Amino acid sequence: MKTKNLRFEAVTPENINLATKIELGFFPDMCAYCSYEDSFNNNNVYWIVYDENEIVGICGIYENANLGEPKTCWMGWFGVLPEKRRHGYGKAILDKTIKIAKEKGYDTLRLYTSATLCPEAIIFYDLFMDFGENYTLEETDLERKVYTKSLTRKPATKWNNRKLYLDHEKNREDEGMKKYLLNLKKK
Ligand SMILES: CC(C)(COP(=O)(O)OP(=O)(O)OC[C@H]1O[C@@H](n2cnc3c(N)ncnc32)[C@H](O)[C@@H]1OP(=O)(O)O)[C@@H](O)C(=O)NCCC(=O)NCCS
């Protein structure tokens, strides 16, 4: 496998529509527009990922003060374009995201996903994160998992099925979809 020469281009007001379009290709019912927009005014950061001049995927890291772990960042809105999968891009993007998270001083990287919606992601995270735990407090029709990776020499603590407030995330996604469609009309 050739070494990946990835370029992480931050999502900004200039490329937010492009980033959202790519993201909706992965998750058609879940709109990241508000997450992207919020990141212009806080510590969160999302990227469109290029190999040379070709887009290969998207990713990002965010803090969530409501979840009570100030040194944890969460990985969100991660995906590799279908035609680019199984070429090592996912692992290369995860590795670079981990490096950036360490540089920003976080001690733990977590993410949540769904085995029902993203079965390939479960195989991927089982390989590359430290551990996964079932999450059963909300959206019980979906098999949810929280994955964790330590960013230090110390083993990470478990999430232990604490609440993620997914209802709030869902509201933001719905609001994001409205804003995205409005923004598209304006351009
Ligand atoms: C999960 C995802 C990001 C993986 O990206 P990728 O670029 O295909 O990952 P890689 O090529 O780096 O895969 C690394 C290893 O993970 C495993 N793997 C990845 N996808 C797999 C699949 N569909 N089936 C079996 N193993 C898989 C393999 O061991 C692979 O190594 P190999 O190809 O040498 O066998 C990609 O499938 C994706 O974007 N899925 C849709 C969106 C999504 O689910 N995002 C995550 C939501 S939280």
Query: What are the structural domain ranges in the chain?
Result: 6-186
pLDDT of residue 2: 62
Number of Cβ within 10 Å of residue 24's Cβ equals: 17
Compute how many other C-beta atoms are within 10 angstroms of the C-beta atom of residue 154: 9
User: What residues are in contact with ligand 1 under a 6 Å CB criterion?
Assistant: 26, 78-80, 85-91, 111, 113, 118, 120-121, 123-124, 127
Query: Best of 1, 81, 124, 147 to mutate for ligand 1, by most ligand atoms within 8 A of CB?
Result: 124
CA of 159 to the centre of ligand 1 (A): 23
Q: Tens-of-pLDDT digits for all 187 residues of the chain?
A: 566 789 999 999 999 999 999 999 999 999 999 999 999 999 999 999 999 999 999 999 999 999 999 999 999 999 999 999 999 999 999 999 999 999 999 999 999 999 999 999 999 999 999 999 999 999 889 999 999 999 999 999 999 999 999 999 999 999 999 999 999 988 7
Q: For atom 28 of ligand 1, which residue has the closest CA?
A: 124
User: How high is the pLDDT of residue 101?
Assistant: 98
SS3 1: coil
CA 172 vs CA 47, 90, 166, 179: distances in Å: 19, 26, 10, 10
Cβ proximity of 176 and 33 under 8 Å: yes
Nearest CA to ligand 1 atom 26: 123
- pLDDT computed for residue 3 by the predictor: 63
Alpha-carbon distance values, 26 to 101, 118, 151, 158, 165 (Å) = 23, 10, 27, 28, 22
Give pLDDT, residue 93.
98
* Residue 164 to residue 69: CA distance in whole angstroms: 12
Strands, DSSP E only, in the chain?
6-10, 45-51, 54-62, 72-75, 79-80, 108-114, 131-135, 144-150
Pocket test for ligand 1, best of 47, 120, 128 (most atoms within 8 A of CB): 120
pLDDT of amino acid 186: 84
Q: What is the pLDDT of residue 187?
A: 72
Supply the residue whose CA is at minimum distance from atom 43 of ligand 1: 79
Q: How far is the CA of 115 from the centre of ligand 1 (A)?
A: 13
What CATH fold (topology level) applies to the domain 6-186? Aminopeptidase (3.40.630)
